[in-house]
Structure 1
């Protein structure tokens, strides 16, 4: 199975993300991809929000997206991308891609939603060349007991309305324990104000395949 259908989310997400982009999300995406080069695989590419931010040193992007409506939007966005982008169906946990065939892997607001994030990270490691980079921008479990408690309550319903997204995942810790060495990482709250938003804790970083 390479398709996961979330028709309501697929219609709403581009509009919601447009608001986040104006609030600083575009700057985060640009930071995520700054300095990337060579052949790139992006999992959970959504509607292609990252495509305009790829630098010219990137020779090719293979963008994998399981939601058919978002994938169609991504294919449209790929036509105006500054680098060559191929959009294809697929799951992060089961990539139909060769071993050690990419210089960079990109996970952007997706590891919160995949059914098996540990397996997805193993797949990303598999398709990366030794020394290849994992660029990640994710919302994650909070740093304070109060925030984590709030997130746990939110997670009882949040995944049903947000296409399987979970707000309590310690994604940064999982990356560090999945055969990657974290080279740089920063945690931050986004967007502000964040107190009432269970998805506000974020992490943005670069890790290298061991």
Structure 2
């Protein structure tokens, strides 16, 4: 990799998004109060060994890691959110190291971790394919990708609304988020075997933002 590319990666690894960083903790609390806490618990249930959490935000998932997890490296590029995550890590039930970084360049050698966790982040990563390829690089054979994401709607009318939002105001307001990505298909295209999936509406009212999935995929 060239020095120019390294410089660009270093800049991305600490990427201020001050408006989004102020909105996200409030949104996260509201979602958790509305029932997302149970989904986050289920997301990490059964994990063990070495874990990387990508786009950790303010660390709202940290409290749910089971004791069988020996260490979590939590990657977060936004400085304000990273500071909140560091505070959350201090009270987590497992050792958590919070670090600046991006999904496309994870701080781990190849085939060294047991699981990679994505929680409400694959919607906003600029290059999903690169991020999932990087997850595949760092995972041990048979390692898991755990994902909790909002995804493309299941009706053509709402898909059109999602496309309009994604082409206009939504990514600018919410840190690059896209409402209509087919994330499960992207995980499969990256070479993972999806072995468990739950689709659900959150909130239950039908909106362009309601379609969610939680699941597990394995690296062959």
| TM bin (shorter chain) | over 0.9
> Residue 139 of structure 2: which of 128, 144, 147 is its match?
128
In 2: Cα distance, 1:54 partner to 1:194 partner: 31
Q: Does 2:216 match 1:206?
A: yes
SS at 1:187 equivalent = strand
* Number of residue-to-residue matches in the alignment: 208
**Could you tell me the TM-score, scaled by structure 1's length?**
0.97
Distance in 1, matches of 2:204 and 2:141, equals: 38
Aligned pair partner of 2:34 in 11, 23, 30? 23
* Alignment of 1:172 onto 2:187: no
| Pair 1:45-2:61 in alignment | no
Partner in structure 1 of residue 96 of structure 2? 85
Aligned Cα root-mean-square deviation (Å): 0.8
1:149 and 2:132 matched: no
| CA deviation map 1:62-109 (0-9, x unaligned) | 000000100000001000000000000000011232101100110010
Which deviates further from its counterpart, 9-18 or 116-125?
A: 9-18
SS at match of 1:112: coil
Of Structure 1 and Structure 2, the greater helix share is in 2
TM-score by length of 2: 0.93
Runs of 4+ in 1 over 3 A off after TM superposition: none
CA shift at 1:192, angstroms? 2.3
Identify unmatched segments of 5+ residues in structure 1.
none
Q: Tell me, which stretches of 5 or more residues in structure 2 are unaligned?
A: 1-9
